Homo-oligomer: A and B are copies of this chain.
Amino acid sequence: MKRDHIIFLIGRIHYKAQRLLEREMKARGIEGLAPSHGEILGSLIFKGPLSMTEIARIIDRDKSTITALVGKLIRLGYVEKRTHEGDRRMALVAVTKKGAALKPAFVAIAMKLRTLSYRDTTDDERDELYRLLSKINGNL
């Protein structure tokens, strides 16, 4: 079989998913944001306030990148940043009301991506795919 190109396949899927996320956000009036901003907003909406380092770990970017991304989200009014009480090195980032209001849109977009990508697959196949991808992820 042609299993040589799995990483290549993964690259293409990743790229397409990112494009879809951008389109869907735009279609819901969440304009001017890259998928990375969406990942941050989604993390904050569903997990609550996070430090810069935690965000960096979750979305897998350099912390200096997070500085820039969160800066933009602050300028747009979606999130706010406060100094952590107890450890003044840390900054805690949390969604504002405007940011929290995006939750339904994020749920809808996640659902759409999920439905679309999983079209014509059985539950067993989904489980197996997830299991195998987890293994690959652990191997790297």
Q: Spell out A's residues near B (CB within 8 Å).
A: 1-7, 9-17, 20, 42-43, 45-46, 58, 60, 106-107, 109-110, 113-114, 116-121, 125-130, 132-137, 139-140
**With A20-B140, A121-B135, A140-B17 as given contacts, are A114 and B12 in contact (CB-CB < 8 Å)?**
no
Across the interface, do A11 and B9 meet the contact criterion of CB distance under 8 Å?
A: no
Across the interface, do A10 and B17 meet the contact criterion of CB distance under 8 Å?
A: yes
| Residues on B with beta carbons closer than 8 Å to the beta carbon of A45 | 1
Q: Which listed residue, B5, B118, B120, B132, touches A110 by the CB 8 Å rule?
A: B5
Main secondary structure of the interface of A (DSSP, over half): helix
Nearest 10 CB-CB pairings of A with B: A16-B140, A1-B110, A1-B42, A3-B130, A14-B14, A3-B126, A129-B132, A9-B133, A119-B139, A1-B127
| Residues on B with beta carbons closer than 8 Å to the beta carbon of A107 | 1
CA distance A45 to B1 in the complex (A): 9
